Amino acid sequence: MKSRIQITVLLMLASLVQVRAGEPLVQEWVFTQESARKEWTANGHIKDVKPTRDGISFRTEGSDPIFTLQTMLNVPATPWQMVEICLKADHDGVGELFWSNTQEGKYGGFTSEKVTRYTATGGTNWQTIRLLPFWQTEKRIMRLRLDVYDGTRFELASIRIVDLMTDAAPVKPDFDFTQGGCGWLPLDGATGTTNKLGVIVGLPTSRSFFLSPAVQFSSEDAAYLAVRLAATKGRTGKLYFATDQSPGWQTVAFPITADGRPHTYNLDMLTVEKWRGRIVALGLRPTDATNTASMVNWLRVGTGPQGSAQIQVLSFGLDEALPRVGGEYRILAHLVNTGGAPLTGLQAELTLPKGAIAVVKPLHGALTNQLAFGETLDLAWRFKPAAPISGDAVLRLTASAANPVTTQAPMRVTPTLRLEKASYVPEPKPVRGPYEVGAYYYPGWQDASRWQPLQNFPERKPVLGWYAEGSPEVADWHIKWAVEHGITFFAYDWYWSQGARHNEHGLHDGYFKARYRNLLKFCLLWANHNPKNTSSQADCLAVTRYWITNYFKRPEHLTVEGKPVMIIFSEDRLASDLGVEGVKTAFEAMRAECRQAGLPGLYLVTCVNSVGQARRAAQQGYDAVSAYNWPHLGAAADEKAAPYSTLIGGYYRQWQHIVSETAIPLMLPICGGWDSRPWHGDNALVRYERTPELFRQHLLDARSFMDQVQKPSPVTRFALVEAWNEWGEGSYIEPHQQYGFSYLDAIREVFSGATNAHVDFGPADVGMGPYEVPTMEPSKTAWEFTQATEVWNSHMHLDDVKVVEGALTGRSVGNDPAFFSPPLKVQSAQFGKIQLRMKLTDTTGQGFKDQGQMFWSTARLHESEATSMRFEVAGDGQWHDYEVPVSQSKRWQGTITRLRLDPCNRAGVQIAVDYLRLVK
């Protein structure tokens, strides 16, 4: 019988289990006591340490403020120990707790693997930060270190270690909550109440979750974890786990259907990198929503997926970003079976808003197709609007022995614009105000392979379609839309590693050949994601000479006080390779090189994440600081989903913090949003509820901040938005399907002050386009590389990629070179091996032995170490045949959507691939 959970009343019931007020105390330091103050010593980045009525007060000034426990502990390490830190801070920030079982090593036993991050909120109230370090791999804790953060005034009352459980015997990981709470603990304000259906989990805060009793089972015997739950709010659930091989608390996010009905979610745990060894603890957060409750029926671990068939809608929406009355479009739905049993008898019922006509036309087979676990199905409807539409399309899916699923997608169709047909992009009508407003431009959209991860996110489809960059016509549309909304420059992501460059097509073939480039300034963001020890003063001079020859003397280049602007992404890369003084010396040489070429100098900006980095940037000789993005601001350190509204406040406080605590000018960074699931899967960070209205508020905050800043500088009125087109990261303002031109209209309103009416339109409105990338046959399974169209693209540590004499060739310029296949849609069960013929030649003339690696992604799983196989390769300049037995991997399953070939793990190798084939 179908019923909805009556959670409102149940939330008022008493909690089934609460953490005891007096958990056993393992160790305690109360800083009102002189003994505790002596045991914890501060380094030089912590100033003015003073005893107070409640503990100690201090301020931080430096990039690495640290308190270190001087006495040696002897604490047996268990998964159930919690560290409590009671403090105040006058600024938001992220700190770290380090722990170790040894004094040996470069940093006295402390390493980057043995750490738990925490978030502190700025204010006047005391806060108790409760951390579960899951340090059981250490066996015994000897050392502790508390890292705070720079530019902040703190008070510290106490640090405690407590036990949540003692003498906990492991239980079987099969929890039937209809029989009771099964020993699970609600933590951080969570509540648990049982009834005959299961346990009601209340989640008042973003950190609340449910913790299992002790478990002990082999990860190899537990390929799947299944949980059945019902939620009424939220988008994702979260599974936690701890192992005996990896320190720390690991998390796996999974999408949920918040319709109040119970659903079974099967998590393929062998695709999770750290699901290794023996699992010792589990945790569950049924939904990312707060102030809500969810019903959890059961949680089980097993060797295969469980439960009945389950329909999951991966995407549903209109395949057009700017539909007009009278056009003909498609509505697409992409489905997957996430249940243990095959999905049969599927039926679809589509309801459209008034004025729409649709014809059902499945793209692949009949609706009654049987889908095994993980298999997908595409459905399509032809759609012809006869009148303007503003409403939701509703899709109801039913199947045999499966819960029905209803999903909806907004549908807005506007009247046809009576515009003259054009033979080229109509001339822009720029507007601007007293501000320089820039947008980062990511030039990564050159072919179908790059767009493939976006296919399940139709709301992101650009007005230009899935376009190919490198076209002057595409660039002119971008320029037109930018300047008509108050944007004055683009900062193009640009890549250089010891002379190797890639992803230049958007700038060199697009912008530089665009008709309207004189209307929009440009500069570069040197995205120096380079391997260690690749930076030197000689390389800095070489790259500067390249900039002078190819960019700085162009009249469109952005300048400050006549000096060409250069933004450097990684302050840390240069500083790590050269040291602070080395960077300063290199910058002096680079500026001298510019002056020798007749330029007034060089205005250097770097991206920073903290006050400490900003201070170090000033010491190195940068002229200003900015950021690419700060997507975690306003969220807890381990939080994977948080509203965009809290990000806005986090940005404002970060602007204030940098300006108040440092002397270096700030080129104000602005965030267009963040949701990187296309790149990183369901476990990615998501800032949800991103809307044009909230973005407008963010812009108003920025304008107010720039107008009121007390330290005028040449970049006081510069704002830089991330980004124009970071579609994969979920940070984009370019016109798109979900919100059209609304983000650009907000920039026009706030920064340009333009009051004249304007009409936003796309290429189809003037008879131009389309600009879609050429589609490739998704069922192709063999590549002989006899034509240039067969080239797998590359944007990772490879240079000069091309087809030469029947082989795909390239030169590795880093330690992680990779070729990416075109989009695929092949069933893994039909193929057991991948064969390739390859030649690797060390350009130094020396031979080597190394490992190649074949990655794959599926309709459900993104490529990762878990979805890959390694194979031995020889770097002797000879052709070799290799065979990768992919079917031996438990992760080779479902629909394969892309391959990635890493030929080796070193720079300086000439690579040639004669063929690559999937073998049946």
Q: Measuring CA to CA, which residue among 277, 269, 285 is closest to residue 216?
A: 277
Instruction: Please compute the mean of the pLDDT values over residues 48-63 and round it to a whole number.
Output: 96
What is the pLDDT of the chain when averaged over all its residues? Answer: 91
Interaxial angle between packed helices 611-620 and 644-661, expressed in degrees from 0 to 180 and rounded to the nearest 10: 40
Measured CA to CA, the distance from residue 839 to residue 837 in angstroms comes to 7
Q: What is the 3-state secondary structure (H, E, C) of 484-514?
A: CCCCCEEEEEEEEECCEEECCHHHHHHHHHC
Measured CA to CA, the distance from residue 763 to residue 754 in angstroms comes to 24
Summarize pLDDT for 707-756 with one digit per residue, the tens: 997 678 999 999 999 999 999 999 999 999 999 999 999 999 999 989 88
With a CB cutoff of 8 Å and minimum separation 6, the contacts of 75 are: 26, 27, 81, 140, 141, 161
List C-alpha distances in Å: 596 to 81, 555, 564, 771. Answer: 62, 18, 14, 43
Q: Which two tokens stand for residue 58?
A: 């201090």
pLDDT at residue 407, rounded to an integer: 93
pLDDT at position 906 over 80: yes
Q: Which amino acid is at 613?
A: Q
pLDDT at residue 363, rounded to an integer: 39
Strand partners, 902: 853
pLDDT at position 780 over 90: no
pLDDT at residue 9, rounded to an integer: 26
Instruction: Please compute the mean of the pLDDT values over residues 833-845 and round it to a whole number.
Output: 94
User: Does the pTM of the predicted model rise above 0.85?
Assistant: yes
> What is the per-residue DSSP string for 751-781?
II---S------GGGGT----BPPP--TT--
Q: Which two tokens stand for residue 230?
A: 């019902």
Q: Compute φ and ψ for 214, nearest 5 degrees.
A: -60, 135
Q: 175: part of which helix (H) or strand (E)?
A: strand 174-176
Question: What's the pLDDT band for 149 if we cut at 50, 70, 90?
Answer: very high
| E strands in 768-864 | 782-783, 793-796, 798-804, 807-812, 818-820, 826-827, 833-842, 848-858
Instruction: Please compute the mean of the pLDDT values over residues 684-692 and round it to a whole number.
Output: 94
Q: Longest Cα pair distance anywhere in the chain, in angstroms?
A: 82
Q: Measuring CA to CA, which residue among 795, 774, 723, 823 is closest to residue 460?
A: 723
- 506-536 b/e (C-beta count within 10 Å ≥ 16 → b): bbebbbbebbbbebbbbbbbbbbebbeebbe
pLDDT at residue 561, rounded to an integer: 97
Instruction: Please compute the mean of the pLDDT values over residues 438-461 and round it to a whole number.
Output: 91
Least confident of 77-81, 244-248, 506-510, 792-796: 792-796
Question: What's the pLDDT band for 856 if we cut at 50, 70, 90?
Answer: very high
Q: Which amino acid is at 195?
A: N
Instruction: Please compute the mean of the pLDDT values over residues 496-510 and round it to a whole number.
Output: 91
Residue 724 or residue 3, greater confidence:
724
Measured CA to CA, the distance from residue 732 to residue 750 in angstroms comes to 18
Question: What's the pLDDT band for 353 if we cut at 50, 70, 90?
Answer: confident
709 close to 659: Cβ distance less than 8 angstroms:
yes
pLDDT at residue 12, rounded to an integer: 26
pLDDT at residue 365, rounded to an integer: 41
pLDDT at residue 23, rounded to an integer: 66
pLDDT at residue 15, rounded to an integer: 31
Summarize pLDDT for 83-136 with one digit per residue, the tens: 999 999 999 999 999 999 999 998 999 999 999 999 999 999 999 999 999 999
Question: What's the pLDDT band for 517 if we cut at 50, 70, 90?
Answer: very high
* Apex 708 CA angle, 703 and 709, nearest 5: 100
> What is the per-residue DSSP string for 222-287?
-SEEEEEEE-SS-SEEEEEEEESSS-S-EEEEEE---SSS-EEEEEEGGGSTT--SEEEEEEEE--
pLDDT at position 358 over 70: no
Measured CA to CA, the distance from residue 676 to residue 419 in angstroms comes to 37
Measured CA to CA, the distance from residue 722 to residue 672 in angstroms comes to 6
603 close to 565: Cβ distance less than 8 angstroms:
yes
Cα four-point dihedral sign 378, 381, 385, 391: negative
Instruction: Please compute the mean of the pLDDT values over residues 20-24 and round it to a whole number.
Output: 59
pLDDT at residue 359, rounded to an integer: 65
Summarize pLDDT for 204-218 with one digit per residue, the tens: 988 899 999 999 999
915 close to 783: Cβ distance less than 8 angstroms:
yes
Relative to beta strand 127-131, strand 81-89 is: antiparallel
pLDDT at position 11 over 80: no
Residue 702: helix, strand or coil by DSSP?
helix
pLDDT at residue 169, rounded to an integer: 86
Per the listing, tokens 């665009």 go with 514
Q: Measuring CA to CA, which residue among 255, 342, 272, 269 is closest to residue 307?
A: 342
pLDDT at position 766 over 50: yes
Strand partners, 171: 215
pLDDT at residue 6, rounded to an integer: 34
